[in-house]
A = this chain, B = another copy of it.
Amino acid sequence: MDIQDLTRELHVKNDTKIVMYVGDGLGGLPQQPGGKTELEAANTPNLDALAKIGVCGGSIPVLPGISPGSGPGHLGLFGYDPIKCLIGRGALEATGIGFHLQEGDVAIRANFCSLDVAGNITDRRAGRIPTEESAPLAVKLRAVNIPGVEVFVEPVKEHRFVIVFRGKGLGGHMHDTDPQRTGVPPLEPTAMNKDSARTAEVAREFIMQALAILKGQPKANGLTLRGVSGKPNLPSYEDVYGLRAGAIAVYPMYKGLARLAGMDILGKPQTLDEQMTVLEENWSKYDFFFIHYKYTDSSGEDGNFAVKVKRTEEFDAAVPRITALKPDVLVVTGDHSTPSMLASHSWHPVPTLIVAKNCRTDGCQSFGESECLRGGLGQFEAKYIMSLALANAGRLGKYGA
């Protein structure tokens, strides 16, 4: 019994609207101890106003000290236990480039590599081949023909590409073929269980044909397969929360993650302004909206404090278009922290606020890491945001008599 077993059992329907507004990598760090974080340095009058009438806290993406990738980070926000519901790396990579995985598909992260005449690996990343050279090669591999199996090959970046096998009886449990070192040949595809025996066979056939196609290439004359995985089987928002859910995102990764949770992908917005327009256009059609803003994370990843402050102010400036719609519950949070001081995802709790009629206001005066420490939500695992949102929307019945 976990929190989703409870929400599945207890949820009731009503006509409330819930908005989850996510600033990717929202949390940060000050430039010197005692200073202000990016969020605190930013001028965010709209978020500060929400903090005053809402309840604040710090969301722990996975567990204390654990810095999540985008997959676990968003699974937590969506209420899935990010430890139990792990998305395979192949499936995540396919999702990230917008590939729409179907039930029974097998997704694989593939790397181009360099092989010597004996077939031993001389460079595991094909000499960091640039995307301009690697992408056409990946497209060439679409010529591989395996009876009874539909084969998809999608370029990603540099030496990386994605392979998806679609066909009957393909299990998602196959060992990586990357030996993790040079001077040896790639490993033979081998299945982890009986259900995946056919997958390993198909992979061997794919590699044989691919090597013929790549023969003579100066850098990328070989390949390794990693993170073989089937489509993750997440219960849907409709099932666990009784919510018709729509996702409003710009980047394929976040659309893909939302789709795995059973959300509809709304519109094709390219800017935050366009995202808000999509929100307004779809307001009557959904109970729950996930709005994803990318640039608080990417500026943090770039290690640029000043730009992250600016991006955070843009994130704030769009708030009035949400509040004008009068959502019953508005959650503002992030999937993890991305302090520009670290130029990477981090484990630090993420500033989070919930505004709703009966949220029990806590006296926080602005939205930032320090104020959130004093907030009424305390510090809590991200996977509880959805049960809190449902409760505040009056969408959860009583547990037990």
A283 to B30, CA, bound (A): 30
List chain B residues, Cβ under 8 A from A389.
65
Q: Which 9 A-B pairs have the closest CB atoms?
A: A65-B387, A378-B379, A65-B391, A64-B384, A72-B400, A69-B400, A65-B388, A69-B401, A347-B391
How many of these chains are in the complex?
A: 2
A339 to B394, CA, bound (A): 14
Residues 72-101 of chain A, each 1 if its beta carbon lies under 8 Å from chain B, else 0: 110000000011101101001100000000
Contact B361 A3 (CB under 8 A): no
**Given A72-B400, A391-B66, residue A358 in contact with residue B346 (CB < 8 A):** yes
Contact A34 B361 (CB under 8 A): yes
Contact B67 A33 (CB under 8 A): no
**Given A58-B378, A358-B339, residue A399 in contact with residue B69 (CB < 8 A):** yes
A53 to B369, CA, bound (A): 16
**Given A72-B399, A83-B6, A401-B89, residue A64 in contact with residue B380 (CB < 8 A):** yes
Q: Does A373 contact B (CB under 8 A)?
A: yes
Q: Give the contact-size bracket for chain A.
A: 35 or more
A67 to B369, CA, bound (A): 28
List chain B residues, Cβ under 8 A from A71.
400-401
Contact B391 A67 (CB under 8 A): yes
Which residues of A, 374-397, contact B by the 8 Å Cβ criterion? 374-380, 384, 386-392, 396-397
Q: Does A29 contact B (CB under 8 A)?
A: yes
